[in-house]
Amino acid sequence: MATCSSSSSGSEEEDEGFDSYRKGGYHAVRIADSFAGGRYIAQKKLGWGQFSTVWLAYDTQSSKYVALKIQKSAPEFAQAAAHEIEVLSAIANGDPSNEKSVVRLVDHFKHVGPNGQHPCMVLEFLGDSLLRLVKYNRYKGLELNKVREICRCILVALDYIHGELGILHTDLKLENILLCSTINPSKDPVRSGMTPILERPEGSGLSGATSNIIEKKLKQRARRAVARISEKRSTMEGVTHASAKPARCLDGIDLRCKVVDFGNACWAKSPIAEEIQTRQYRAPEVILQAGYSYPADMWSFACIAFELATGEMMFTPKGGEGFSEDEDHLALMMEVLGKMPRKVASSGVRSKDYFNRYGDLKRIRRLKYSSLDRLLVDKYKFSDTDARELAAFLCPILDFEPEKRPSARKCLQDPWLNIK
């Protein structure tokens, strides 16, 4: 399996890069291209990642929209796809009624194109990621009832993959949780009443990659023009843009969501990679190389819950003069969660690089100790009660000792999830 410890999916601001459309790379898709002997018809590009481009496609057999993930063709990507298909098949087989908040694999096949043979996964079509939801909410924390609703979905998924299948996700983060529907109803092919495109529109001779780039340039130009106009307007009105707009209301948005991207998932009994998880969501035992299992996913889950509630990442470590990003990360963790017990601090292959024999960090001294509930009150302006209750839910999941962290099943029974 090709592993990547900090996978980065395509953001709306960037595109996947023209250069990767070559032998071994992405497959260029045009609207109305057909796949699997005509069963699936490409409608529009939904996103991309380091391994694939993902297209909205119409399934002519079921008359439903699906997400078609078309992997790069080089052997390492094909191998990664085979692994992801194996994991997704186990997930689908164990949940026939599709109620466990995990993305469903509908079908898979290979597609031969000019750049090689591309493994393709057909997934149920889902909406925007939680990252987009937080951006849409202008990086303000979501109302706590909404955070609870999302947390419940993620925990159902984790309870299922951990408890029933023995699978670790290893890359939980906001980008890898998708809402079941789009934020904007007009972007949802079903709710907007979109008619499926079954044939190539006339005069569309360009390849998908080329037309994407042209479209992007036009959009960029339009955005700049709009920005220039709004800048003028706000100077005239004497207000800045940011302060003029309140956070949008999220009422009416369906917050049911599902866990996606099992490209780095593994069976707990045979972990593959030494380093897992995207930096900000990485558990201390992973940093220390002390072995990992389900509790590492639980750590990332707690970081996600914090981010939903505050609009900011829980830990954003940076390397500095005389200390590494790992050391800064450990220091940030201890500042909110207290000193790491010596037993844990000394338990990993990397322990001696970071800690002295007293269990203190070697290169970062004088930590500013606080606590999670203080942070929620002081920095994020939570009420005392909200802060206390959220911290009581999160702190056990952020226990430095992985064995002490509650399982997803246990978290599902936590009273915090049922506060009205």
Summarize as ranges the residues that interact with ligand ATP (CB under 6 A). 7-10, 46-52, 54, 67, 69, 103, 123-126, 129, 175, 178, 260-261, 263
Catalytic residue, chosen from 33, 128, 171, 326, is 171
Mark the segment that binds Mg ion (CB under 5 A) among 52-60, 259-267, 298-306, 407-415. Answer: 259-267
Minimum distance of ligand ATP from residue 175's CB (angstroms) = 6
Q: For residue 107, count other CB atoms closer than 10 A to its CB.
A: 17
SS3 376: helix
Q: For residue 35, count other CB atoms closer than 10 A to its CB.
A: 23
Quickly tell me which residue has 């979905």 as its tokens: 153
Nearer to ligand ATP, 123 or 308 (CB): 123
Nearer to Mg ion, 4 or 411 (CB): 4
Q: State how far the Cα of 380 lies from the Cα of 388, in Å rounded to an integer.
A: 13
Nearer to ligand ATP, 7 or 310 (CB): 7
- Choose among ligand ATP, Mg ion, none what residue 315 binds, the Cβ cut-off being 5 to 8 Å by kind: none
Please, what sign has the CA dihedral across residues 403, 404, 405, 407? positive
**Which residues are CB-neighbours of 215 under 8 A, at least 6 positions away?**
none
Instruction: Identify whether 171 is a catalytic site residue.
Output: yes
Which of residues 1, 4, 9, 57 is near Mg ion by CB under 5 A?
Answer: 9
According to DSSP, the residues that pair with 285 across neighbouring strands are none
The site string for Mg ion over 208-247 (x = CB under 5 A, - otherwise) reads ----------------------------------------
Minimum distance of Mg ion from residue 263's CB (angstroms) = 7
- Choose among ligand ATP, Mg ion, none what residue 43 binds, the Cβ cut-off being 5 to 8 Å by kind: none
Q: State how far the Cα of 29 lies from the Cα of 43, in Å rounded to an integer.
A: 10
Minimum distance of ligand ATP from residue 263's CB (angstroms) = 4
**SS3 string of 235-286?**
HHHCCCHHHHCCCCCCCCCCCCEEECCCCCCEECCCCCCCCCCCHHHCCHHH
Cβ–Cβ < 8 Å for 139, 395: no
The residue sitting closest to ligand ATP, measured at its beta carbon, is 49
SS3 346: coil
Minimum distance of ligand ATP from residue 72's CB (angstroms) = 8
Q: Which of residues 23-52 bind Mg ion (CB under 5 A)?
A: 49
- Choose among Mg ion, ligand ATP, none what residue 67 binds, the Cβ cut-off being 5 to 8 Å by kind: ligand ATP
347 is a contact residue toward Mg ion (CB under 5 A): no
Q: For residue 387, count other CB atoms closer than 10 A to its CB.
A: 21
Residues that bind Mg ion (CB under 5 A): 9, 49, 261
> What residues are labeled active site?
171
